[in-house]
Structure 1
Amino acid sequence: MKKTLVLGASLNPGRYSNLAINRLVSYGHTVEAVGLKKGIVAGVEISTEKEQFKDIDTVTLYLNPKRQEEYYGYIVSLKPKRVIFNPGTENPEFYDILKKNNIEIEIACTLVLLGTNQY
Structure 2
Amino acid sequence: MKNKKTLILGASTKAERASYKAINNLVSRGYSVLAIGQNAGEVAGVKIQTKAIPLKNIDTISLYLKASRQRDYYNYIVEASPKRVIFNPGSENPELSQLLELNNIKAESACTLVLLATDQY
TM range (shorter): over 0.9
- Runs of 4+ in structure 1 deviating by more than 4 angstroms, as ranges, are none
Structure 2 alignment gaps of length 5 or more: none
User: What is the match of residue 29 of structure 1?
Assistant: 31
Q: Give how far 1:49 is off.
A: 1.0
User: What is the match of residue 53 of structure 1?
Assistant: 55
Q: Percent identity of the aligned residues?
A: 58
**TM-score of the aligned structures, taking structure 1 as reference length:** 0.98
User: What is the match of residue 112 of structure 1?
Assistant: 114
**TM-score of the aligned structures, taking structure 2 as reference length:** 0.97
What is the DSSP-based 3-state SS (H/G/I as helix, E as strand, rest coil) of the residue aligned with 2:85?
strand
| 2:15 aligned to which of 1, 13, 18 | 13
Aligned residues: 119
User: What is the match of residue 100 of structure 1?
Assistant: 102
Q: Give how far 1:53 is off.
A: 1.7
| 2:65 aligned to which of 44, 49, 63 | 63
What is the DSSP-based 3-state SS (H/G/I as helix, E as strand, rest coil) of the residue aligned with 1:70?
helix
Offset from partner CA, 1:46-71 (integer Å, 9 cap, x none): 00111112111000000000001111
Structure 1 alignment gaps of length 5 or more: none
What is the DSSP-based 3-state SS (H/G/I as helix, E as strand, rest coil) of the residue aligned with 1:112?
helix
Q: Amino acid of the residue matched to residue 24 of structure 1?
A: L
